[in-house]
Amino acid sequence: MKEYKVTLYQEGMLGSLLLGASKVDPEKFSAFLNRNAREGWKVITMEKDIRRMLLFWSRESYLVIMEREA
C-alpha cells in the first residue's frame, strides 16, 4: 500500500518584492527534495506555477506530488 504527499514548494516573498519576480533556487529545491527522499518519498510528478502577489509581483513555485510505501 502506498501513501501520497502533495506539497507546494516556493521561495520567500522577499525576492519578489525586491526584484519584481522570484525564482526557485535550485540548491534549496534540491535540499527540499533530498530531505523528503531520506524519509522515503519519491517524486511522481510536479508542475511549475507562477503565482501573482500584490498585483505587480510574481513568485515561481512547484506543486510536487510524492509517494512512498505506507
Q: What Rg value do the Cα atoms of the chain yield, rounded?
A: 14
Which among 53, 40, 49, 44 has a CA at the least distance from the CA of 14? 53
How distant, in Å, are the alpha carbons of 15, 19, 29 from that of 52? 13, 14, 20
pLDDT of residue 55: 65
Place of cell 534540491: 30
pLDDT of residue 67: 98
Written as tens digits, the pLDDT of the chain (70 aa) is: 999 999 999 876 654 445 545 678 889 899 999 999 999 999 999 999 877 766 666 778 899 999 999 9
DSSP string, 3-41: EEEEEEEE--SHHHHHHSEEPPPHHHHHHHHHHHHHTT-
pLDDT of residue 53: 65
Q: What is the pTM of this model?
A: 0.76
